[in-house]
Every structure is written in C-alpha cells, then in structure tokens.
Amino acid sequence: STSTQTRGKPYYVTTPIFYVNAAPHIGHMYSMVLADVLKRWQNLKGNQALMLTGTDEHGIKVEQAAAKKDMHPKTFCDETAEQFKELAHAANINCDRFIRTTDQDHQLAVEHFWFLLQEKGLIYESKHQGWYSVSDECFYPESQLERRQDPFTGEVFMASSETKNKVEWVEEKNYHFRMTALKDRLLDFYRNNPEWVVPHARMNDVVDWVQNNLSDLSISRPIQRLSWGIRVPNDASQTIYVWVDALINYLTMAGFPNWTPGREYEGGWPADVHIIGKDIVRFHSVYWPALLLAVDLPLPKKVLTHAHWTMNGQKMSKSIGNVVNPLYAMNRWGVDTMRFYLMYVGGLARDADYSNEELVTKYKKLLQGGFGNLVGRLTRAKLWNLREVVATASSMDMSEVSLSTPIQDAIVNLENILLDLPSVVDQHMDQLNPVAAIREIVEAATATNAFLTSTAPWALVKTKDQNDLAVAQRSLFLAAESMRIAGILLQPYLPAKATKLLDILGVDPGKRSFSDAALYKDSSYGEPIVSPGTTLEDTLFPPLVEDLDIEFPASRA
C-alpha cells in the first residue's frame, strides 16, 4: 500500500451519510469517530488520507419528517444537517468534506451515474409491486416479513422481520436496475475477497443473500409518491431511489465523474474502507458493488461493519427516541472521554450497552488511574526532575549499575511490551480493529503502573545510595518511555488529551509521528511544554463533574 500512497492515491475512509429525519445520537458519533481514528492513524504514519461524512437528505422518510413539521424539505434538511455538522465539529472529527446529497456536484454525479447504467443497457421500466418500508427506505420480499400488532392501538400490520419496521403494499411503474445480471460477478468477487466485509461473520449473510434472494432493484419512484429527490434524467415523472442517490456520495467526494483519465485515483477512489452499521450491510455489500461493477468502476477495498449501541438492551434509534445526545454527553464528560469510551467499549461484532456508570468507571480506572496517574507520578514528583532523569538514564552505562534480579526482570518485561507495542497496534489497525488496538495501549499503561509499583523509585531515591539512584532513574526513564510511546499512539483516539500528555512530558511536537514511537528513540524530552491558556497544574484527567456532586439532568436527549 505504501507504493500506491506515493503514486498519489490517498487513503480514503467514509462514514454512512445520515438521514436528517431526526437529530444525531451516539451511534452516529460512533461511526464518525471510528472513521476519524482510521484517518488520523494514516496521518500518524505519514500517509495522505481523506475522510468523508455527511447527510442523506432525500427520500420519503425525510420528506414525511419535513411535512410533519410543516417545513419545506430543504429548509428542514438545512436545520438538521447543521446539527450533524456541529456534531462532527464538536467531536473533533477531521473530515475533509461534509457532504450533503442536496449539494450540486452530487446531483450531477448521480445523474451521470444513471446515464452510465443506461448506456450499459442495465435499466428497464416495468410495473413494480411489493412491500415497502419507509423507515428503512427499501422493499422487502414476502419471506422477510412478519405480522405484528401495535401494543397501543391494536392495529395489525405487516413488518420487516429484521428491523420490525412497518411495510406498506405499493404498486407503481418505475425503473429497475438489472442487478440479477451481476449475480455471477458478485459471487466471484466475494469468493476472491473473503475478507472484504469485516468482521468476517457478516460476509456469510451477504453471500447467502445474493445466492438466494437477489432480484432486480427498483431504482425510481413516481413523483406522486416521492418528489423530494433527484429526478430521473429525461423522465420528470420519476425520482431516483434514495439509496442509489445516497451510495453515490462516496464517488462524488472522490471527484467523480470529472476524473483525469489515468489519474482517477487522485481523488481517493476506490475507498479504502466504508464504515457502516450492521443495519445497512446489504446496501453496501450487495447493491453498491453491483452498481459499481455495472459501470466498470473499482470496488471499495473493505467494508467495516460495526454493531449497535443499545440503551437497556434496546437499539438506540432516532425513531424510538431512546437516544443519548452526543453533544450533551461531550459537554458533560469531555470530548476525548467520550471518544475513549466509544472506542474502548463499542462493539464491532457485538452490540454494546451505553451506560454512564460504566463510562465513569472506565474513566477513573483507565484514564485517571492509568495515563493520568502515571504522568503525574513522572512529572509532579518533588523527588526528581523528569528532564534530568531522561538525560541521565538515556546515557547511563548500565554495566556500572547493579540490578537485582526482580528489577532486571521487570525492566526486560516492560521493554518487550514496548518494543512490540507500535507494531501490534499497527497490525490491529491494518485489520480494521481499532478496538483491539486501543486495548493494547491501555494494557501497556497498566503494565507500566505495575512496573513502577514493583520498582518503587520513590523509595530508592531516598536511600542516598548512588546505585539506588541510578536504578530509580533507569526505571523512571522506562516508564517515561512507555508514556511517550503510548501518548504518540493515542493521538488518533484522543487528539487533545494525547497532545496534552506529550506536552506535559515535553516531547518535541516534531517527534510525535509513528516512527518516533520506538523505544529509546528520543532522549530530548522531559521539559514540559506549557501551551497558552494552560498551566502545569492542569491535570490531564481531572475529576469528572459527577465526582463534584453537581446535579445534572439525565443524559437522555
């Protein structure tokens, strides 16, 4: 991948674009932070990287939500899109574009894509009848429906057995995409790329579905039923299906269709990874590759699917309303605390239940008790000066120092952890597992705390013995190295807190890239960098508001 990088293809990561039918919640922030971490990781390694997020504004669902508020759809979209933008900004998401499907260049990209499909003879017109879910914006085959009853009104209705959302019978004339023509190519692609969908277990469902359920896809709606969307080129009586419109956003960002022949990759396409929730796997792993194959465009390299945040075991959802407002949560707990909690506890394979109690526990134990405590021990001790420790210990002749066996073993043990840490973290990132990666970093901090407890440098410096002093400096230096390396590796996760950590340690801002995260590579630090507006007394992980006994309303929106 390094060679493609230098040839000019930036790394390119996307989130889903979010429906603007309601305000954002923690689940949306989770997708954003995952993408942001992957992008920042590439930057840390010196690679150019692009990240895209944005809003999905067309379709029946949004049209109805606007009507409910008696607003013009565009005015309604402007308002909610602003909230998602605010979320991206507040969560420190380093996106290169916030796309809206109402953007002019996107509309042109969608129209162009439609022409290409038509040119290939893959669009035909026919009568369509089936069960449509407005909430999911898709048709379901009879086999995937169940009869449900509204607990309040007693009304009996048909619903998707997967999402439990209501469906309605629809008969209309519309355009179809001859997706069945792509069946063999899709199955070949899956066979040749068995690791395409991450985690792997979700790939099986995809293959199974294509083998057993693939049919042609209805890709337009009569304007009587949907007018809020992009018109079918040359047929003003039809609106393009919102999912076709939405998926193409990933190409719009990459500059499609205004590409210089031979240099198409410059805009980032093909995407390195689409990050999506497990609820939209079929759209991204069946419809999307089918559409791309149809017009001979390269497919995204990976689809990273994540599980859901639940609230008391139930999926958090805009329609149900059991949501945590991320802006409120960040305000209360801090931006990086939230990013940490989401990344550490969130599930790629399995759902995770959101809980403020757990958040507070993790904060205290891992951030305050881990990194905060360690950095405090290293820098605020009245017993030593970190700069002096680093300078002395890094040039120490160890053959002159006598180490007890337990201390010797403890040093070797921690050294081995730190020698491996950068590459272990990098491998997890390569496998799109930032959860496993951050857990390794946290474990290194835990090991470092245990190391300091066992070597007890604070006791050694008091004995006035020269050898004891050397041993103390030696072990403090190793602990400082651990924090320097962890601080560098944490930057993609906790951009502000990791920067502060490295400032407190006095690590030169020019020495904070992935290649600097090597044991004993840097001996120039130790003098704290005090940035404007802060003082040395500011703790890295201060007590949470919860600890201060201030009354706050429940965190629900």
Residues that bind ligand ME8 (CB under 6 A): 16-19, 27-28, 30-31, 56, 246-247, 249, 276-277, 279-280, 308-309, 315-317
- How far apart are alpha carbons 377 and 421 in whole angstroms? 22
CB of 391 to ligand ME8, least distance (A): 48
- Report the residue number, 31 or 455, with the smaller CB distance to ligand ME8: 31
- Distant-in-sequence, close-in-space partners of 548: CB < 8 Å, separation ≥ 6: none
CB of 48 to ligand ME8, least distance (A): 24
CB of 433 to ligand ME8, least distance (A): 17
Q: Are 346 and 435 in contact (CB under 8 A)?
A: yes
Tokens matching residue 479: 């602990």
Residue type, 506: G
Q: Are 531 and 363 in contact (CB under 8 A)?
A: no
CB of 543 to ligand ME8, least distance (A): 29
- Report the residue number, 308 or 484, with the smaller CB distance to ligand ME8: 308
- Report the residue number, 87 or 429, with the smaller CB distance to ligand ME8: 87
Ramachandran category for residue 223: left, alpha or beta (phi over 0 → left; psi -120 to 50 → alpha): alpha
- Report the residue number, 277 or 370, with the smaller CB distance to ligand ME8: 277
CB of 346 to ligand ME8, least distance (A): 8
- How far apart are alpha carbons 43 and 95 in whole angstroms? 12
CB of 283 to ligand ME8, least distance (A): 7
Q: Are 14 and 250 in contact (CB under 8 A)?
A: yes
- How far apart are alpha carbons 324 and 125 in whole angstroms? 44
Edge-to-edge strand list for the sheet holding 273-277: 97-100, 49-56, 11-19, 273-277, 303-306, 197-198
For ligand ME8, which residue has the nearest CB?
27
- Report the residue number, 121 or 321, with the smaller CB distance to ligand ME8: 321
CB of 317 to ligand ME8, least distance (A): 6
Phi, psi of 160 (to 5 degrees): -70, 130
Tokens matching residue 378: 């290293």
Q: Helix, strand or coil for residue 454?
A: helix
- Report the residue number, 16 or 270, with the smaller CB distance to ligand ME8: 16
Separation in Å, CA 234 to CA 111, 115, 217, 231, 432: 10, 10, 20, 8, 42
Q: Angle at Cα 275 formed by Cα 159 and Cα 331, nearest 5°? A: 90
CB of 527 to ligand ME8, least distance (A): 43
Burial 183-212 (b: 16+ CB within 10 A, else e): eeebeebbeeeeebbbbeebbeebbeebee
Q: Angle at Cα 473 formed by Cα 470 and Cα 475, nearest 5°? A: 110
Residue type, 72: H
- How far apart are alpha carbons 326 and 539 in whole angstroms? 24
CB of 44 to ligand ME8, least distance (A): 24
CB of 250 to ligand ME8, least distance (A): 7
- Report the residue number, 16 or 506, with the smaller CB distance to ligand ME8: 16
- Report the residue number, 26 or 485, with the smaller CB distance to ligand ME8: 26
- Report the residue number, 82 or 155, with the smaller CB distance to ligand ME8: 82
- Report the residue number, 288 or 525, with the smaller CB distance to ligand ME8: 288
